[in-house]
Amino acid sequence: KQEVTQIPAALSVPEGENLVLNCSFTDSAIYNLQWFRQDPGKGLTSLLLIQSSQREQTSGRLNASLDKSSGRSTLYIAASQPGDSATYLCAVWGYGQNFVFGPGTRLSVLP
């Protein structure tokens, strides 16, 4: 059974810092991995989708990498802003499965 973990569970940084969020999964047989953002009391918004054949995806200040063999993905946020404060979740889609979600990392960017 696929298990997804995220480290750290919470992170607080001053504005302007570059930061890395980590996602680990136990079964490397995946179709893709997706990063989401969730604001308090809101739904999930898709940030980046990385197919299993890709190594990374970029969108603006966000860069996500995927290393299937080691079961890891990282989300890099450059020049963080207070508006980046949210919970970030990763989810993997494995063979014969639906998306399995990690518990999320709660990010606070302090002005």
Partner 1 sequence: NAGVTQTPKFQVLKTGQSMTLQCAQDMNHNSMYWYRQDPGMGLRLIYYSASEGTTDKGEVPNGYNVSRLNKREFSLRLESAAPSQTSVYFCASSPGANVLTFGAGSRLTVL
- In the complex with partner 1, the residue whose CB is nearer, 80 or 92, is 92
Q: Which stretch binds partner 1 (CB under 8 A): 15-23, 62-70, 77-85, 87-95?
A: 87-95
Structure tokens at 3: 């298990």
Number of H helices, E strands in the chain: 0, 11
Residue 55 pairs in a beta bridge with: none
Query: Contact between 91 and partner 1 (CB under 8 A)?
Result: yes
> Minimal CA–CA distance to 39: which of 7, 85, 74?
85
Residues at the site binding partner 1, with contacts judged by CB under 8 A: 31-32, 34, 36, 41-46, 49, 89, 91, 93, 98-99, 101-104
